[in-house]
Structure 1
Amino acid sequence: MELFNTALLVALMTAIRPTEGEDDCPRIISRSGWGARPSKHVEYMKIPVEYAIIHHTVTPKCNSMAECVEKVSSIHSFHVNTNGWDDIGFSFLVGGDGNVYEGRGWHQVGAHTYGFNKKSVGIALIGEFSDSLPPRVQLDALKRLLKCGVKEGELAEHYKLLGGRQISATKSPGLALYQEIQTWPDWVENP
């Protein structure tokens, strides 16, 4: 078992996109880094995207790369095997370890917010944030991802930040996190 864990860690480390510290981008763990299966169908979005929609996964939090990889893989399996989707629904997932995990990424249409999937990235913070905020490292990684998206031309310069609850009948991204993002400069009240 120890040999497997060492091999998995080496594979994960080689699949990390070397962006941390460069251009204010967070460390992004590629799909191969967390073991994603190929998407059954790919539809591409028009870039730059005009909306970023924040969600939470309503799962236990993760604080290490190993825990976060396990959570992302589990969410992927649920979305594909139970929901019958082509792939994981989110564009990115942000772990409590401070890493960002690539879901469908910047360019592929996701399955996170009905009616907005073709014009938004859906970013889920791993955990449940109704009563408490994510750890600072997780919030900082989210902020860096958004800033990086604008700098790289993936997000429109004046994109609109929303919580999932503003568009559909959900409590996502949790009350505490929703109240937090309302204080961020790109948040808008009406889509």
Structure 2
Amino acid sequence: MKLVTRAQWGARPWREPNGSIPYAGPRKGTKCHYLGTPYTFGPHDTCPAYVRKLQASHMDVNGWSDIGYSFVVCEHGYVFEGRGLVRRNSANGNVPLNEAHYAVAALLGASGSTHPTDAQLNGMRDAIDYCRTHGPAGPEIKGHRDGYPTACPGDVLYAWVQQGAPRPTPTPAADRRRLDEEMM
């Protein structure tokens, strides 16, 4: 897993006390998310800035104590640590839903770049497996829309979730082409 820690992406400190609320017990699994806004793939050096922008929006616009997700995965397959394994997320809809599942988000848009790259799907799977191995996450893999009325994680990512979130067949050349085409 290509993990990018909070310090490495330049995260702001979370607000106390809500930003440090630990999970009360084990999670049933993970819920997958997307941005739900326009997003266009770019070079990897722009990804940390976008995650900082996302955190600022969650904190300054939504009034949350931190970025809402446990982990965020860019189109290049890097897994950015959000609230991580210990601190309860705020992305799944309400406290019981947030308590039940980790929240793993793809930098993927409702328009623009709407189809995840193979690297991104592998990163999503890495994050899910990391939650299972290092956090008390059970086997469930669901979309945000499972249990909360939303279009998230979008139809394309949701279809992948419904297939059991399989690892894609390695095609790095196809990923490079898709990234190049969507940046044009």
> Normalising by structure 2, what TM-score?
0.79
Match of 2:8 among 30, 33, 45: 33
Match of 1:174 among 141, 145, 154: 154
Determine what percentage of the aligned residue pairs are the same residue. Answer: 26
- Indicate conservation of the 8 Å contact 2:33/2:103, yes or no: yes
Match of 2:86 among 65, 87, 107: 107
- 2:97 paired with 1:119: no
Do the aligned partners of residues 185 and 99 (structure 1) sit closer, same or farther apart at CA in structure 2, a change above 3 Å counting?
A: closer
* Contiguous gaps of at least 5 residues in structure 1: 1-25, 187-191
Q: Which has the higher contact order (CA 8 A, sep 6+)?
A: 2
Mapped to 2, the partners of 1:51 and 1:144 lie a distance apart of: 14
- Indicate conservation of the 8 Å contact 1:47/1:155, yes or no: no
> Normalising by structure 1, what TM-score?
0.76
Q: Secondary structure at the match of 1:181?
A: helix
Q: Which moved more, 1:31-40 or 1:122-131?
A: 122-131
Match of 2:75 among 76, 84, 96: 96
User: Post-superposition shift, 1:49?
Assistant: 1.9
User: Post-superposition shift, 1:133?
Assistant: 2.6
- Indicate conservation of the 8 Å contact 1:59/1:126, yes or no: no
Mapped to 2, the partners of 1:185 and 1:66 lie a distance apart of: 27
The number of residues matched between the two structures is 159
Mapped to 1, the partners of 2:25 and 2:44 lie a distance apart of: 30
User: Post-superposition shift, 1:151?
Assistant: 2.5
- Indicate conservation of the 8 Å contact 1:60/1:127, yes or no: yes
C-alpha offsets along residues 34-65 of structure 1, whole Å, 9 cap, x if unaligned? 11111103100145421201000134144433
C-alpha offsets along residues 14-50 of structure 1, whole Å, 9 cap, x if unaligned? xxxxxxxxxxxx1110111111111103100145421
* Contiguous gaps of at least 5 residues in structure 2: 167-184
Do the aligned partners of residues 35 and 89 (structure 1) sit closer, same or farther apart at CA in structure 2, a change above 3 Å counting?
A: same
